[in-house]
Amino acid sequence: MVVMDEPIASPLPDTAPGRTARARLLSDGYTVVPGVLDLDEVRRYRALARRILAPQQDREYQEKHVAIGSLFDILREPGFVDLIGHARALAALRRLGCDEPRYEHGIVFNKLPRTPRTFWHQDCINWNHPVAYEPEPHELILIYYLVDTTPHNGCLRVIPGSHRRRHALHEPLRGANIPDLERMRDPSSPVFQSYPDEVSLPVKAGDMVVVDVRLLHATHANDSGEERTALSLWYAPSFRDLPECVRARFTLRTGLDERLPYVPAGWPEDAAARLRALLPAAYEGSAAPLPWHTDPDERLC
């Protein structure tokens, strides 16, 4: 069982060598920021997550998502607006060179006890545009761990550099049927295997892992007797610098698509106003929204 009463690492100070963290993000596709959440915040967000996770107890849901855990929208709980606009997290992003981070969407990613590894995947949906092949990340995932996480209970696995370089896994993932992967219909598939160039990222409760959406990542199995809870939040790091067709893709359209920014109906007005301030500005130009495209082409080499 994870001991939650031990001290959590202190937040990354403003004097930390952000260029080193930025260099890792650009070259490897990820970096770790320790102690973004303090112990009280970890406890609070665990309580909020539990309210969202009740449907995961359904056997049919568990079978449907056995290899992923849970995929519940964090906006089911207004209290998560504090995490979306968390001052230490946004300051860490600025030190990484993200001068205008805008929130897109987020999930509670909970692995139940004794559940299998999550399949390798990447989360870029803009591979049909040059922005996906540039050195700078155009989308980032901020993953907050609410328990100490190791290879034994399902910590993250990544393949460094795979956000900019083609890997053997890109081929079996091309056109993959994601529901079949979530059900783990074929455990022998390459997307469930271990690779010599993968790196495990054990972290402490309250740490934040920053991941380029293009990076190939997965998790270990949760072989423990406890749940492993994480919160994954997507941001555009420098929204105003994105091409118009990409900005049009992420313009607020209430309730249209859980991957698009939106403000839930029925939220308290103060929470709704705070969330609106963290979302991308509405696109008012004439460019058509960029269609989804989840597979890299020959430009990734």
Which amino acid, one-letter code, is at 260?
A: L
Q: What is the pLDDT of residues 264-288, one digit of tens each?
A: 999 999 999 999 999 998 888 999 9
With a cut of 50, say whether residue 52 has pLDDT above it. Answer: yes
With a cut of 70, say whether residue 13 has pLDDT above it. Answer: no
Band (pLDDT 50/70/90 cuts) for residue 106 is: very high
Residue count of the chain: 301
**Tokens 């271990």 — which residue?**
194
User: Are the beta carbons of 249 and 153 closer than 8 angstroms?
Assistant: no
Q: Strand pairing partners for 121?
A: 217
Run of H or E residues at 140: strand 140-145
How confident is the model at residue 20, as a pLDDT? 87
DSSP assignment of 22-56: HHHHHHHSEEEETT-S-HHHHHHHHHHHHHH-GGG
- Least-confidence region, from 18-27, 163-172, 246-255: 246-255
With a cut of 80, say whether residue 254 has pLDDT above it. Answer: no
CA 222 remoteness from chain centre: 18
For 73, list phi and psi in degrees, rounded to 5: -65, 125
Q: Which two tokens stand for residue 258?
A: 């859980």
**Tokens 């990484």 — which residue?**
96
User: Are the beta carbons of 131 and 246 closer than 8 angstroms?
Assistant: yes
Q: What is the pLDDT of residues 119-129, one digit of tens each?
A: 999 999 999 99
**Rounded to an integer, what distance in angstroms lies between the CA atom of residue 174 and that of residue 296?**
8
**Rounded to an integer, what distance in angstroms lies between the CA atom of residue 36 and that of residue 17?**
16
Q: Strand pairing partners for 107?
A: 73, 232
With a cut of 50, say whether residue 12 has pLDDT above it. Answer: no
Band (pLDDT 50/70/90 cuts) for residue 257 is: low
* 3-class secondary-structure state, position 104: strand
How confident is the model at residue 259, as a pLDDT? 64
User: Are the beta carbons of 2 and 25 closer than 8 angstroms?
Assistant: no
Percent of the chain with pLDDT over 90: 85
Determine the straight-line distance between the first and last CA of the chain, rounded to whole angstroms.
Answer: 43
How confident is the model at residue 256, as a pLDDT? 54
Architecture of the domain spanning 19-278: Sandwich (2.60)
Q: In this structure, how many other beta carbons lie within 10 angstroms of the beta carbon of residue 94?
A: 15
**Rounded to an integer, what distance in angstroms lies between the CA atom of residue 181 and that of residue 203?**
26
Run of H or E residues at 175: none
For 15, list phi and psi in degrees, rounded to 5: -90, 5
Segment 165-172 shows an average pLDDT of: 98
Locate the domains of the chain by residue range: 19-278
Which amino acid, one-letter code, is at 122?
A: Q
**Rounded to an integer, what distance in angstroms lies between the CA atom of residue 52 and that of residue 63?**
18
Which residues have a Cβ under 8 Å from the Cβ of 121 and sit 6 or more positions away? 173, 178, 181, 191, 216, 217, 218
Percent of the chain with pLDDT over 70: 91
Q: Round the average pLDDT of the chain to a whole number and report it.
A: 91
Q: Which two tokens stand for residue 40?
A: 């009280």
Q: What is the pLDDT of residues 178-223, one digit of tens each?
A: 999 999 999 999 999 999 999 999 999 999 999 999 999 999 999 9
- Least-confidence region, from 46-50, 84-88, 229-233, 288-292: 288-292
